[in-house]
Chains A and B, each alone.
Chain A
Amino acid sequence: MTSYLSIEHVHKTFGVGPTASEVLRDVDLHVDRSEFISIIGHSGCGKSTVLNIVAGLLETSTGAVILDGREVSKPGPDRSVVFQNHSLLPWLTVRDNVGLAVDKTFRGKKSRAERREWVLATLEMVGMSHALDKRPDEISGGMKQRVGIARALAMEPKVLLMDEPFGALDALTRAHLQDEVMRIQSDLGNTVLMVTHDVDEAVLLSDRIVMMTNGPAATIGQVLDIDLERPRDRLAMAGNPEYNQYRAEVLRFLHERHRNPESEAA
């Protein structure tokens, strides 16, 4: 079986000896090209660890990640990351934050003028053309996250990795950005792996939802296919019985089969 992105029996243990903690046990996932996958689970279960392993920021203890036929061992231009807290460089303007990624990725492949055009085009795509020369501290949280998304998209990655990209945003901004990510993803056909803890977000955006069990030694508990027509409209979804069924299924997994360990302790 050859899939576009395979996470093959990945184990991850942090530390050695008596302080070692097994975070992931046998995580196995196969993703097709242009698929939108959400990873959902209680906080601390190891979602970010999975994402960081795919990004190449962490190494697996055993197992491997294979993207388009090649094993992932370190960060590469084929995988870009949208970080939870945007992680823009505060000393660079919006334009330069994206420019740094573009210059790095396309030096030698695009001319200087083409690179500059490309920066403008991606910022246009996320609706940030009006703030090119602003610094991150001069724009709102939602705008920062847009720029973070633009920076990741500008690298034209094979896989876009997003770690709770909308977690820190207010509900309205979040809804707006979710719609925009759906639009961009259907335009560009990106393969997306998104970590979230928001059930609605997962159902609305994903082709499949990967539900993780609680740690330690978390693994994939269930994978749910979301067969909803695209484009999906969030207002129409609210009254859609299928949508609500998917939603209920994810909730059931999270609340019944895998209670939040913190609430259990309380």
Chain B
Amino acid sequence: MGAILDRTMTFGSGRERPAVAGATPQPVARKAATTATKPRKIPGADPGAWGRRLRHTAAVVVPPVIVTALFLLIWEMMASSQGAVLPAPSQVITDTWDLIVNPFYDHGGNDVGMAWQLLASLERVAYGYALAVVAGIGLGVLVGQSTWAMRGLDPLFQVLRTVPPLAWLPISLAAFQASNPSAIFVIFITAIWPIIINTSVGIRNISQDYVNVARVLRLNGFEYFTKIMLPAAAPYVFSGLRIGIGLAWLAIVAAEMLIGGVGIGFFIWDAWNASMLSDIVLALVYVGLVGFFLDRLVAIVGNWVTRGTQAG
């Protein structure tokens, strides 16, 4: 876990906008990506705009469909063999059909539909993540702005951020004496580090040109914050927000396994205790999909907010 955190929070490979010191975000890479996915024109056959778009969609959709189908097929074959422990996909669907078609049932207590389980988890993530965004951007601005604050706080952050999320749970249970706030705190403390670090890097990397413009225009502190600092750092901030939401969703499932109650994490734990492996598989699929959508959501908001800012 520590290694993963290390990698993600040093803004390493694969992120859309790596917060590397000195590097201005590169619009070039993005342009290259869009042109690369354009279908090549085949001489002699011009199927027109619609045909081309259709072909483009097919080129994007077909590979994942084939790979997923193959994966399911192999799984099905392996799980159908003698002595297999895990249920086959077909088995999962028959076993969990009631859960799939009735996501919103409510029989009281923990016995509620998958939608309610996921919503309960999402609610905790929403609280914890919202707090992490506010506190993380605030601290990031402080650390990015003030060399003194950076020297003082950075070692502390570097140590604390490597603490695995669940290690915080006992201490927060002791502090809050209640499971729900504890889970929210775990989300908060998990998501906050990449937000702090990326925000502060973004602020430290604000181009001297913009600082000079601000000085020539004599912007005051508040104007500098809203007109220069936030927009200039926004691409970095959003890359931190995106890492943060991913970590938050990773942590919630684990935390809920321990605290119980309604939530997708405890649902999985409960299913394990009842030996309902099919329920677990279904829950994992949902967890993956929700995580994917959360990530996309933050990415989309980020792209929208920072549109135009990467221009040179």
Q: Which residues of A does B touch, CB under 8 Å? A: 55-57, 74-77, 79-81, 83, 85, 87, 89-92, 100-101, 104-105, 135-137
Contact = CB atoms under 8 A, between A and B. Distances in A.
B273 interface: no
A104 B217 contact: yes
A74 B217 CA distance: 11
A206 to B, nearest CB: 23
A137 B311 contact: yes
B215 A57 contact: yes
Interface stretch (B41-49, B148-156, B205-213, B259-267): B205-213
B291 interface: no
B213 A89 contact: yes
25 contacts: A57-B212, A74-B215, A75-B216, A76-B218, A79-B216, A80-B216, A81-B212, A83-B212, A83-B213, A87-B213, A89-B213, A89-B227, A90-B310, A91-B232, A91-B234, A91-B308, A92-B227, A100-B217, A100-B227, A104-B217, A104-B218, A104-B223, A136-B311, A137-B310, A137-B311
Given A75-B218, A89-B213, A137-B27, 14 more contacts: A57-B216, A75-B216, A80-B216, A83-B213, A87-B209, A87-B210, A87-B212, A89-B227, A92-B227, A104-B218, A104-B219, A136-B308, A137-B308, A137-B312
A136 B213 CA distance: 15
A89 B218 contact: no
B308 to A, nearest CB: 5
Given A89-B228, A91-B231, A104-B217, A83 B311 contact: no
Nearest to A52: B212
A55 B311 contact: no
Chain A interface SS verdict (over half): loop
6 tightest Cβ-Cβ pairs between the two chains A and B: A137-B311, A91-B231, A90-B311, A87-B209, A135-B308, A91-B309
B217 A101 contact: yes
Contacts of B310: 90, 137
A168 B311 CA distance: 16
A89 B231 contact: yes
Nearest to B308: A135
B217 A83 contact: no
Contacts of B308: 90-91, 135-137
Contacts of B215: 56-57, 74-75
Contacts of A56: 215
Interface in B222-249: 223, 227-228, 231-232, 234
Nearest to A79: B216
Contacts of A135: 308, 311
Contacts of B213: 83, 87, 89
Contacts of B219: 104
Interface in B254-312: 308-312
Contacts of A80: 216
A57 B213 CA distance: 10
Contacts of B227: 89, 92, 100
A89 B234 CA distance: 13
Nearest to A80: B216
B128 to A, nearest CB: 30
A79 B217 CA distance: 10
Nearest to B231: A91
Nearest to A157: B216
A75 B228 CA distance: 17
Given A89-B227, A90-B311, A83 B218 contact: no
Contacts of A89: 210, 213, 227-228, 231
Contacts of A90: 308-312
